[in-house]
Amino acid sequence: MTDHQDALARLQAAGFDLTAFSEEQREVLSALTPHELGVLVEIKGRLDESAPEVQAHVDIAGGALF
C-alpha cells in the first residue's frame, strides 16, 4: 500500500465518507503529511464526540441555533 492509499485508508477508518469528496479533493487528502492527517482525524473525533449534544439542540430548537 502506498503512503497515499494509507492516508485515505486511515481517513476512511476514522469515519470519513471519501465518496463525498471529488477526485481532486481526495488527491489533496491523500497527500497530507502524517502530522496533518493526525490533526484532521483528531478534530473529526472531537466533532463526532459532540454530535449527540449538538443533535439534541437541533431537534429541540429546530436547527435555529446552528
Mean of per-residue pLDDT scores for the chain:
83
- What secondary structure, in 3-state letters, does 24-43 show? HHHHHHHCCCHHHHHHHHHH
Count CB neighbours of 18 within 10 A: 13
Q: How confident is the model at residue 17, as a pLDDT?
A: 94
Q: How confident is the model at residue 36, as a pLDDT?
A: 96
The pTM for the full model equals 0.68
Q: Please write the tens of the pLDDT for every residue from 2-22.
A: 777 899 999 999 999 999 999
Q: pLDDT over 70 for what percent of the chain?
A: 76
pLDDT band (50, 70, 90) for residue 57: low
Q: How confident is the model at residue 65, as a pLDDT?
A: 47
